[in-house]
Amino acid sequence: MTALPADSVDVVITSPPYNLDIGYRSYRDDAPREAFLDWCEKWCAEVRRVLKPDGSFFLNVGAAPANPWFPHEVVLRLRERYRGAITVRLGLEMDYVEGLEDYLHTQAARHPWDYIIGSVHYLDPACKTYAWPRDYKGDIHALNARYFELMERMAGAGLVDIVAHFDLPKRTGIPTSPREDEPIARALAAVARAGICMEINTSGLRRPVKEIYPSPMILEMARERGIPICFGSDSHSPAEIAFAFDKALALARNAGYTTYVTLDRKSTRLN
């Protein structure tokens, strides 16, 4: 990077060594904690130098079960070091598990998150039953009702700022039906009471259902209840960042939305 001119790069995407004692051939991955954080500051200074004023920086940082919060220490160090120059936001996707609300509150309180996204991926406390089981042979309506019951409880638990992929079970390829209208309405009412945001998530277009989360009907119901929205692509690769946001924007407009919420929780008019 030192060979690049200043203010010359639009986007930086990097996945540096994680300091997890990985056996690299030419690099020792076991630096003392503070030394590694100092090193991160140094190369981030070069990122700051080469980025254009309106450039973007995407950083992937790994973790290990024995040290799960270390990536957040890296983010917090960089945020303080470059406050006012590079906007660094710290977000968390939290998996809601019924019965673990106190534990989740304790863990969430460990860092000053800019936002917490709440998800329901499992329907049981043991986390063995997916919300979208493949080749499901049981009662799909009972499965959906259980999912929306957990969404309702998550919204009421005061844990999250954003509700993710609201109708995730349709990932199986089977959309919700009128039989789920009542549990959907209860979940939406809980979201509205909590004053939290609903994500328009485009990743459903990459799944068999080929539909954004939530469905047009659910999004209209959310708008009628005054629930604010934000946008997400559930990206797991650089190519999926902001995936199909033009379609998400059109869906929001068709549902009657004229504003959305950014990550600093300011309302911004749709263009």
71-75, 96-100, 211-215 — which is least confidently predicted? 71-75
Query: What's this model's pTM, rounded to 2 decimal places?
Result: 0.80
Q: Residue 137 is inside which H or E element, if any?
A: none
DSSP assignment string, 177-209:
-GGGHHHHHHHHHHHHHHT-EEEEEGGGGGSTT
Q: Which two tokens stand for residue 78?
A: 């960089």
Q: What average pLDDT score do residues 167-178 get?
A: 89
Contact 142, 180 (CB under 8 A): no
Q: For 210-220, how does the pLDDT look when each residue is reduced to its tens digit (9 = 90+)?
A: 999 999 999 99
Segments in 198-270 forming alpha helices (H): 216-224, 245-254
**Residues facing 119 on adjacent strands:** 95
Q: What average pLDDT score do residues 10-30 get?
A: 83
Residues 6+ apart with CB under 8 A from 152: 183, 186, 187, 189, 190
Q: What average pLDDT score do residues 24-42 get?
A: 85
Q: What local confidence, expressed as pLDDT, does residue 271 receive?
A: 46
Residues 6+ apart with CB under 8 A from 205: 211, 212, 243, 244, 247
**With pLDDT > 90 as the criterion, what percentage of the chain qualifies?**
52
Would you tell me the crossing angle of helices 70-81 and 33-50 to the nearest 10 degrees? 50
Check pLDDT > 50 for residue 32.
yes
| Cα(230)–Cα(268) distance, integer angstroms | 10
Query: Can you tell me whether residue 223 is helix, strand or coil?
Result: helix
| Cα(258)–Cα(269) distance, integer angstroms | 6
Q: What average pLDDT score do residues 16-25 get?
A: 80
Check pLDDT > 60 for residue 17.
yes
